[in-house]
Chains A and B, each alone.
Chain A
Amino acid sequence: MFFIKRILIIFFIFLVIIIGDLVTYDYVEKEDKIKEISSKMTSISPSFSFASKEYKKFVYDK
């Protein structure tokens, strides 16, 4: 039982870190920034490359 309790304590610490990160993240600010820039674009396309031909076609043709 001591072993299980020790594992539960470790997982609890992980959970606190994750919940803390989720709660403190400013989703509203990020959404506003994305909306602000996307409203200026006519046709949005993700600004990253991708290691598949299909995806490159998607990025550059759309």
Chain B
Amino acid sequence: MQRLSRWILITMIVGVLAACGAETPASGGAAGDIKVGAIFDLTGATSDVGVPYANGVKAYVEWINGKGGINGRKIDLISQDYAYKVENAERLYSQYVSQDKVVAIIGWGTGDTEALRQKIATDKLPFMSASLSEQLTNVAEAPYNFVVGVNYSDQMRIALQYILEQKSNATGIKVAFLYNDSPFGKSPESALDTIAAASGMETLKVAMPRGATDLTAQIQQVQAFAPDYVVVQNTAGPASLALKNAATVGLKTQFVMLNFAANEILVNTAGPAAEGAIGIIPYAPPAADVAAVKDINEYLAGKGQGSISDNDKGLVFSQGWATMAVMTEGIKRAAAKGTVTGETIRVELEGLQNFDTGGITAPITFGASDHQGAVATKIYQVKGGTWTAISDVVEVKK
């Protein structure tokens, strides 16, 4: 036992020494590099979409650095996995801020971005998360959060708008809402409540437990309600499970997927069960003929990593790419005017007018009192295994 103690002692000393070593700037960048932190979910509950998103962000950084960076200064992206756990995100955040001294952060989930909101405001760091929660667009509450894509609540409004257009009589339309049992899943709930109350829709809300391997019970609950439409707010993995279970149970209804459920992962995993599903997708699909998709394909081909249409990339990869593109534009404009700090980047981002993300999203416009980037999206449907646009660009009707 004493020998073991000695080994443990030695290991601990080595560990502590290593930790001390890490405190000196370790990221190995040149002095002129611009440091951006990133908090990704690579192993947690939402890693099905977290991994392609992370790859998209990293790819953009490599691509822009390959093209000479920002006036010759490279972006140094410091990224870590947080496994979708709030406490990990907090730890990484505080490490990025006080040790790495980053000027901006790319985040991921709704729960952790919400939890960091107040810290972000005091530390004055622009923060773009993959979470499109409407709460994060409230400038009074979250002055340094920017939401690039159409937010979840607006996606829900657009989905319901579409549903109401299909039926001449709104009263009595039954809409079931299947959601991830987390802040992310519940984010568009209040938009649903408001519209349902105003239009006389009947609604049923069913939570999908996190990490569930079978959703038959939830689907049966939905089946008993006999809805005309089922709106799903979850990531693609659990959403395709719901589709498969619905096929098994024999639930006949129209599924409407909000953005994180509507991507190629859903089509690949659910197979024929995904056929006919509608998706509210604020990002251009891989087949789209837009500038950014060409850039991505050129970059990927140069690295020998296939193309954007590969199963491990797709829509979510583009989302990561576009988010980083917007952040980079803010940094670029701040750099052109002088110093790059969180505050100057924020000012520049707020000045963005119809910034083109290479066609991945609708043009991005921020303002001093408006941190919601895109507000318009197309509606897609799975036809023959691919997402096909069934509408023009639509916005929430005011």
Q: Do A and B come from one complex?
A: no
